[in-house]
A = this chain, B = another copy of it.
Amino acid sequence: MARDTEKRRAELRDRLLDIAEREVRNNGAASLRARALASEAGCAVGAIYNVFDDMTGLVLAVNGRTFGRLGETVTNAVAKAGPDPTEQLITIARSYLAFASTDPNLWRALFVADMSTDSAVPAWYLQELQRLFAMIAAPLTKLHPDAPPDEIDLMTRTLFSSVHGIILLGLERRISGVPEAKIEEMIGFLLRRVTGADKGRVSGD
């Protein structure tokens, strides 16, 4: 019987996750409703709380999936990239942009700061972030073989945050409404400048 319940719960968990993911993808994390979710999943509202801590926990679970797919996307992209470190960085940034641009709502949900509660940041979250950072640090180390690790780390965070900011504000229609091609151009410009691959020109490639 114990196993039976376990299975039922696992199935319900998956079903809820699927529905929640679809809702976040289509309408954003803010429009998740407990009642609508339960109704569509064919369970009671209370059942959600047998499987997730609360609605925030559910969004967190969605983020887990999203982060996983993001990691794979970027990993695949850099696997196909050439040997030039600068181009590798651009490839990483480009795949990051493509991911964010394809599913902006899922992507934004990764960064909604409802983790206000202390230490509510799950371990896997920081782990996935490290995975991303490591992929950025690798080409940077090739570019600067003599730089100490903490300087590589600082450059990594700087580049990630910069590209993240460009994408964040670029996708926000209120500020610029820049087309995706323009965002790619901005990223390419920034990265080539920072890595020193382009010392003089103003426009990129």
User: Contacts A162-B166, A194-B193, A199-B199: A157 and B186 contacting too (C-beta < 8 A)?
Assistant: yes
Measured between beta carbons, the chain B residues less than 8 angstroms from A169 are 157, 160-161, 164-165
Kindly identify which residue among B113, B158, B170 contacts A190, using a CB–CB cutoff of 8 Å: B158
A5 within 8 A of B: no
* Residues on B with beta carbons closer than 8 Å to the beta carbon of A44: none
Contacts of A158 in B (CB 8 A): 166, 186, 189-190
In the complex, the chain B residue whose C-beta lies closest to that of A121 is B174
Copies in the complex: 2
Interface size, A (range): 35 or more
Q: B165 touching A202 by the CB < 8 A rule? A: no
Instruction: Name A152's closest neighbour in chain B (CB-CB).
Output: B202
Residues of B within 8 A of A174 (CB): 113, 115, 121, 125
Pick from B129, B168, B199: contact of A165, CB below 8 A. B168
Is A196 interfacial (CB-CB < 8 Å)?
yes
**Is A22 in the interface zone, CB < 8 Å from B?**
no
Which residues of B have CB within 8 Å of A166?
158, 161-162, 165
Interface string of A163-193 (1 = CB under 8 A from B): 1111011101011101000100110011001
**CB-defined interface of A103-117 with B at 8 Å, one 1/0 digit per residue?**
000000000010100
